[in-house]
Amino acid sequence: MVMKHIKKLYAFLIFFFLYAPIMVLIIFSFNESKSRGSWDGLTLKWYIELFKDRQIMSAMYYTLSVAILSSLIATAIGTAAAIGIDNMKRFKKSMIMNLTYLPVLNPDIVTGIALMLLFIFMRIRLGFLTLLLAHITFNIPYVIISVLPKLKQLNKHIYEAALDLGASPSYALRKVIIPEIMPGIITGFLLAFTLSLDDFVISFFTTGSGVSNLSITIYSMARRGINPKINALSTIMFITVLLLLIIINNRMSKNNTIKE
């Protein structure tokens, strides 16, 4: 009985230290005062000021543009790659999957520096294009990992049956395979979009002057002192990412339930 209470207390302390700073940030985003040492009442002015700030709005535009485009492109490439990997023989599949896991396990700073050096070597000017290419690169493995489980659940004879009934390979892919694995594709897209939204390290090394996402903008603003607008912006980002993660987890839970 005592051990049960100790476990609950331990779990509570872990979650408290993880989320208490975020809760403080959210609370002070509604504080009338700029000072973090005093509370002068509730206000929404920092959220209003946030949407009037051209620098932040520009960063939000680049963040959403890169996140949406990179997620769509990475989802298309990752889905095609997952279908190809699923049809490989065991040895080749194992080798390719090890290469797929490498970018996921690789430290972000190594990936960021490697991509930056690659772009410089290829004489591609650092900016929106390089930022987009970098996000596509690190998003593809996550899409592959999301789609492959759905392909493993798929009945291998469905595709052959469609061909026997007169469907062309491309038609069978569009009308039979893709609808069956669509939950995994959507999960991969949402995961890629979430990762793209809050990426800092890789974006920092692969972007150029005049182009920055919200993470880089927050970092540069924080170096000059904590501005209440940062609290408001961080609150919006936290809630957005939280909602996306809830959607992803719900989809994964439904997929697991269907599988069982």
Q: What pTM did the predictor assign?
A: 0.80
189 against 245, higher pLDDT? 189
In this structure, CATH architecture of domain 58-213 = Orthogonal Bundle (1.10)
**Residue 250, beta-bridge partner list:** none
| Residue 227 clears pLDDT 60, i.e. is over it | yes
**pLDDT in the model for residue 134:** 94
Beta-carbon-side half-sphere exposure of residue 108 (alpha carbons within 13 Å): 14
Instruction: Dump the DSSP string for the chain.
Output: -HHHHHHHHHHHHHHHHHHHHHHHHHHHTTBSSS-TT----B--HHHHHHHH-HHHHHHHHHHHHHHHHHHHHHHHHHHHHHHHHHTS-HHHHHHHHHHHHHHHHS-HHHHHHHHHHHHHHTTPPSSHHHHHHHHHHHHHHHHHHHHHHHHHHS-HHHHHHHHHTT--HHHHIIIIIHHHHHHHHHHHHHHHHHHHHT--HHHHHH--TT---HHHHHHHHHTT---HHHHHHHHHHHHHHHHHHHHHHHHHHHHHHHH-
Which tens digit of pLDDT belongs to each residue from 186-217?
889 988 998 998 889 999 999 988 888 888 88
Distance from C-alpha of 23 to C-alpha of 222, rounded to nearest angstrom: 18
Quickly state the pLDDT bin for 257 (edges 50, 70, 90). low
Could you tell me which of 85, 69, 237 has the C-alpha nearest to residue 146? 85
199: tokens are 């990426």
- Residue 210 sits at φ, ψ, to 5 deg, of 90, -10
Which tens digit of pLDDT belongs to each residue from 142-152?
999 999 988 88
* Residue pair 214/238 in contact by the 8 Å Cβ criterion: no
